[in-house]
Structure 1
């Protein structure tokens, strides 16, 4: 809250919307649970001080999400319907279905069609627990993960300093397509970043049986949704005009 108080919304109101919406959702969650705490009162009072500067409703926090209805029929619908889902069934998915999703993801573009992307799928609860503990960003929902991808990129596909980032570019394109493939299959998926040091990356490779020649890109928790209706975290996207620069 101290950092938000110093923020000048003239730069862009979007970060303020995200922060205020998250704080508002936090308070509402605990109020619905019948909880009281001085911290909740402090946050509520803080939110009131913002209402004059940036009126409600704030475009952030949580929103309703549904898996009911027809599968996404257009690319725009597919992209708009994707959200990070953390309420998943632990039931292992059928290997042939997982391979179907991977095959869809393989349609991702790849520099010179080198297809360096690799994906490791895990369904053993003990191994998933070990991998997620090393990742470190799934506390609170790790127990609901029964299917886990680790996306990597084979570094032998690249050579020279000019291609030093290409493993990450190709791997990220593949990972995004894999998440869209999961959505098209009716599954939920949640990307998990691997902003880790070399020691932790080596530990993940050992725990996951991943060859040393593969650079880790990210993890993806995925599976059938726990319920057809749920709530998910969301943040507004910056207006396109705010991030675009047109050059003559």
Structure 2
């Protein structure tokens, strides 16, 4: 590695960036759950999907189109698969790059905005001024709400990429210290690394859930 961040650089081999193939590893495993006898893992995943479906339905409200929650369940599944596979050694974490996270966040936000302003123009204008705002502050609130609405895809993308990068960097730093520490400190470092790996496993699921929930909330504002 030329520097600490070089482990996050896509490496080209024979003209192909093979690191990005980690994004599609999960897709090679998914079809089996629809053809084999349901296992405990399949039943657990179905339970997770049903729970997410109920929660996203509640967040989107009664005006949501039937089946619209499937988009956000698929989004959650894609992100949690990529985050989890990135914890395996020598597998490239695609969600640690803004190229991947912005590709997910920007089209979603742009689609919500176009749908809202074309079909519910008055509703979108009403969102720019929160209820109960004093007349003297209305102009400032419009500016603040417009800016906060514009930076939403950026905050979604940066939050996911920064959390994935920070955790992997911490694990890399501790791992690089291994050859330099004494045998008495090595067990403590191994235990710390295992605890960090458990924390990163939780972060991988939580960040996917946060991304999907925030996208659902953004969509509910334009309905």
Q: TM-score range by the shorter chain?
A: under 0.3
TM-score, normalised relative to structure 1: 0.23
